[in-house]
Amino acid sequence: MMNLGRITAIAAKELKDALRDRRTIIAMILIPIIVLPVLMFLPAFLASPQRNPVRIAVIQSDSTSDEFLAGLASDQIRVVTIGRAENMTKLIQNGDYELGMVLPPDFSRILEGPDQRATITIFVDQSSTRGTIALALVQDAITKYTDRIVAERLAKTGLPPEALTPIETDLHSVTVTGTGALFLAILLPLFLGIYAVTGAMYFIMDTTAGEKERKTLEALLTMPATRTEIVVGKFLIAVLIALLSSVLAIIGMMAGVVLFSGAIGESSVPGLSISVGNLVLIGLATLVLAMTSASLEMMISIFARSFKEAQNFLSPLSIVVVVPALAMQYMSEQTLRSFAIAPIFNAMLIIRDALLNRASATSLTLEFLSAFVYMAIALAVAIKIFNSEKAMVRY
Amino acid sequence: MIQCDSLTKRFGGFTAVDQVSFEVGNGEVFGLLGPNGAGKTTTMRLLSTLLKPTSGTATVAGYDLLREPQKVRASIGVLPEDTGLYDRLTPREHLQYYGKLHGMPKDVLRKRSDELLDIMELGDRANTKVGDFSKGMKQKVALLRAFIHDPPVLLLDEPTAGLDVMSARSIQAFVERFRKEGKAIMISTHNMTEAQKLCDRVAIIDHARIVAAGTVAELQQKTSQKDLENIFVQLVTD
């Protein structure tokens, strides 16, 4: 029989102790809420042409290309005309400009004719993010200008625009939810998985292997609490911390979207609407993820002799958890279903299906049931190790 | 009280405690004396149910080690070899935590904590995290933890090892005080002066076996030595 009072006392002490530990706080709060959103959005924010227009150096052969250039300049593209003698390659390699352009002589005259073609030479470093952004913007502008010229040429010959596009495609999207949900269906299982695994990892190592190493466990084991009560009390706080870190990660992600999306030029995540039922499912799956990883980590960490050994055993998990999240994107629906009872994978699948509005009662039952079976096994093993004097009292 | 009956513990081929038998009565301080590795700590760990005996058994406060380990744990106060305190908790929080694990009601627990902290003169440091404490102060807090639930039996492993004279004295006075209250107290020690001062009876353990037991006077008679240290050396080298 488990004594609730003792479990509560153990859980309350663990929480108090954890909240006073700077390292747990950093792993639980600071990293999920700050580090990842910043890592995700800062590069886009910094490279964004809305915030910081790309600079283009242009060498004109004569003034016939003035009109084209005037159309090219925008709030995202700043055009600077430079002298013919300048070394374009060097200028771009030095980072003075993101892109260079050489316009041929008689530019507008060539375009006025019915059958001639003007060649624009472009210099760009495609290994730089800003360079590729500049190239995309410039090519976009050139296409628009070309379309206008083509329309004018066609008009002169009397041909309708359809003459150039004999076949047209008409796309009917059958995606249930918008692209935003699709984006989240890839990212959310990954992030929630990572935070379920890493959020409480430090706490778990500290409260099991750490307690063993510091010999505080020996005093605890001489108390009337049973080993099962001790494991359960610690497990509850581990789950709470993993859950808290996952929730904070979601808040961090949303804050990242809100903070940086304006600067990037996207108004908000498009096409995202989740029903309350699906939201509840995501919450439950997050809880299951936290419970599965906490029980698994406790099992491994209790076995370790020291904090360092626990670290060696557990650190690979934070990389391993990425595998199912990534693999999910490349699997067919049938393959995915056959993995529905794999640990961690099952909870990630619930999150993905909820986001894409694809969850079915049969697969949910399988996924939740299997998750609870794994958790029960891991906890039972953890308690068994806790009961083994060989593992607990070393000499 | 404690009754040990042929208590034996083997780790693989190594015998750590071999057929150890002794009794500790209420109001008695019993000293387990022996060199390092003789089996003192293992005996303590067996009596506190951390380890299961390979053979033999013991009753502690009337409860059998093997059949009623939880009741045994409820009846003992243990000072382990290492204090095993949580650096980020204060002395009062330690007492509250372990008191709750013993199922003590809140008001009783508060009163008892105050009382113990006062006796040990830790009242003004009761709310400071123990991570900042000296070794002596930590040892005092660990000792209070063993007494929080007012257990009839106490197992104190090296209670004054490595402490300064003042800390050692206040711990000895504390033990003396509770002996008078009728507790059965077992201490393991290296310190012969301490054993001579505190213990009503001692047992000398060497290579996992008890080689002699009795009051200090009895051992003096047996070995024709006056000083406990000489008695010890003679018994252990024989």
Nearest CA to B142 among B87, B101, B185?
A: B87
Residue of B nearest to A17 (CA): B88
Structure tokens at B188: 């393991």
Domain count for chain A, please give it.
2
Of residues A102, A113, A98, A114, the one with CA closest to residue A69: A102
**Does A336 map to a domain?**
yes
Q: Residue A13: its chain B contacts at CB < 8 A?
A: 86, 89, 93, 97
Tell whether A172 is covered by a domain.
no
B34 in contact with A, Cβ within 8 Å: no
Residue A386 lies in a domain: yes
pLDDT exceeds cutoff 60 at A263: no
Q: What pLDDT digit, counting tens, does each position of A344-373 carry? A: 889 999 998 888 888 888 889 999 999 999
> Do both A244 and A304 map to the same domain?
yes
Q: Which of A10, A223, A392 is the closest to B73 by Cβ? A: A223
A74 located within any domain:
yes
Task: Please state the length of chain A.
Answer: 395
pLDDT at B14 over 70: yes
Chain A: residue whose CA lies nearest to B72: A224
| Digit-coded pLDDT (tens) for A177-226 | 555 667 778 888 888 898 899 989 999 999 999 999 999 999 999 999 99
Domain for residue A249, yes or no? yes
**A67 and A24, same structural domain?**
no
CA-CA distance, B36 to B24, in Å (whole number)?
22
Tokens found for residue B116: 């113990």
Cβ neighbours of B142 in A, within 8 Å: 219
Q: Are A136 and A122 in contact (CB under 8 A)?
A: no
- Tokens, residue B205: 């353990």
What letter does residue B7 receive in the DSSP assignment? E
H or E stretch covering A388? none
Is the CB of A224 less than 8 angstroms away from the CB of B73?
yes
Question: pLDDT of B34-58, one tens digit each?
Answer: 988 899 999 999 999 999 999 999 9
What letter represents residue A364's amino acid? L
Element containing residue B120 per DSSP (H, E): none
More confident residue, B193 or B111: B111
Which is nearest to A104 in space by CA: A90, A118, A114?
Answer: A118
Tell me whether residue A350 is in a domain: yes
Q: How many CB pairs under 8 A join A and B?
A: 75
Average pLDDT of the segment spanning B89-106: 96
A214 in the same domain as A339: yes
Which of A163, A189, A204 delimits the end of a domain?
Answer: A163
Provide mean pLDDT across the span A162-166. Answer: 82
Query: Are residues A292 and A380 located together in one domain of the fold?
Result: yes
By C-alpha distance, the chain A residue nearest B129 is: A20
Q: Does A19 touch chain B (CB under 8 A)?
A: no
3-state SS class at B5: strand
Closest by Cα among B53, B52, B157 to A392: B52
The pLDDT score that the predictor gives to residue A268 is 47
| A209 found inside a domain | yes
Does one domain contain both A234 and A377? yes
Tell me how close the Cα of B50 comes to any Cα of chain A, in angstroms. 7
**CB-CB neighbors (< 8 A) of B85 in chain A:** 216, 219
Percent of chain B with pLDDT over 70: 100
The residue among A163, A197, A229 that closes a domain is A163
Average pLDDT, chain B: 93
Q: For residue A262, what pLDDT band results from cuts at 50, 70 and 90?
A: low
Which CATH number belongs to the domain containing residue A60 in this structure? 3.40.1710
CB atoms within 10 A of CB B75: 18
Given a cut of 70, whether residue A174 has pLDDT beyond it is no
Which residue in the set A6, A222, A389 is minimally distant from B76, CB to CB?
Answer: A222
Same domain, A284 and A341: yes
**Residue B227 predicted with pLDDT over 90:** no
The more confidently predicted of residues A71 and A40 is: A71
Q: What is the mean pLDDT of residues A317-336?
A: 87
Chain A residues touching B84 at Cβ < 8 A: 214-220
Question: Looking at the complex, does the CB of residue A166 fall below 8 Å from at least one CB of chain B?
Answer: no
Q: Chain A residue with minimal CA distance to B86? A: A216
Give residue B144's pLDDT: 95
Cα–Cα distance list, A354 to A195, A241, A279, A364 (Å)? 19, 24, 7, 10
Is position A168 within any domain? Answer: no
C-alpha distances in angstroms, A338 versus A334, A376, B197?
A: 6, 22, 73
CA distance A290 to A268: 29
* Cα gap A98→A49, rounded to integer Å: 11
- Provide the residue range defining the domain that includes A131: 51-163
* A255 shares its domain with A365: yes
Sign of CA dihedral B16, B22, B26, B27: negative
pLDDT, position A177: 54
Per residue in A225-246, pLDDT (tens digit) is 999 999 999 999 999 999 999 9
Q: Which CATH class is domain B2-237?
A: alpha beta
Instruction: Find residue B189's DSSP bridge partners.
Output: B33
pLDDT (mean) for B105-128: 94
Cβ contact, residue pair B103, A223, below 8 Å:
no
What amino acid is encoded at A203 in this protein? Answer: F
The H or E element spanning position B203 is strand B201-206
Does one domain contain both A40 and A67?
Answer: no
Name the band, by pLDDT with cuts 50, 70 and 90, for residue A273. Answer: low
Q: How far is B70 from chain A (nearest CA, A)?
A: 5
pTM above 0.90, yes or no: no
Lowest mean pLDDT among A84-93, A200-209, B102-111, B125-134: A84-93
**For range B136-164, the mean pLDDT:** 94
Same domain, yes or no, for A365 and A256?
yes
Q: Measured between CA atoms, how close is A304 to chain B, in angstroms?
A: 18
